Amino acid sequence: MKPDEIHSVAARALKAGWQVNVHAIGDRANRLTLDQFEMALKEVPRADHRFRVEHAQILHWDDIPRFAQLGVNPLDAGLPRDQRHVLGGKPDRTDPGAGSLCLEVAAELRRRDTQRLRLPGGIGQPLISFHSFVSRQDADNWPAAGWYPEQKTTREEALPQYDPVAGVRVVHGKGVGSITPGKFGDFTVLDQDIMTIPVEQILNTKVEMTVIGGKVVYRRETPRT
């Protein structure tokens, strides 16, 4: 897309109360997207717009704080030069090397900007991503100490990325993200407490029941004995 197309759509969406989500990978693509969002927001100020950048990978150092400044939610919070080294990202056996800048930015992003950026957990199976957040390992528990273990999060840090933080990605997020009176009643019941079981058992967790809008839409037929 041309930059002025993003600007035009963003400005019209702000006036109409719609959310805009732009897919961008690469430092130039992300900077151009943020630039157009910034211009649109100056023209049509709106505090709770919940604009998003899907993937938002391989960012330039200078653009990381702009997400928080503009109130834009990055989906994967990618880091400079190497998109594999994201918070909660799955280890990649094919390339064990990484530049020191990637690790430096990862540490800085976690220390300074995680809460302000409201980083959501990865898309797909949330238990896989949750396991990766806290272990930095794949499904075979490799590598033993974790892939760049200094990037591990605690379970208390990881869990909110899948409920209240994930809820801010969408315009109707005020109605989702926690089990609270007045919200939609969307939640999942697991057969194990992923906050206390050994890390290596997290991926053995089964979904017992899924509730959407207060109604049971899935129930596992064969519960664990």
CATH number for the domain including 162? 3.20.20.140
Does a structural domain hold residue 221? Answer: no
Residue 189: inside a domain: no
- Domain of residue 104 covers 3-177
CA distances from 17 to 9, 12, 70, 105, 176 (A): 12, 9, 16, 34, 19
Consecutive 10-residue averages of pLDDT for the chain (225 residues): 95 95 91 97 92 83 85 66 39 37 45 49 72 85 82 82 56 68 87 96 95 92 65
Q: Name 56's bridge partners.
A: none
Q: Closest Cα partner for 154 from 204, 88, 106?
A: 88
Query: Is residue 25 a contact partner of residue 58, using CB atoms and an 8 Å limit?
Result: yes
Q: How many domains is the chain partitioned into structurally?
A: 1
pTM of the model: 0.64
Residue 173 located in a structural domain: yes
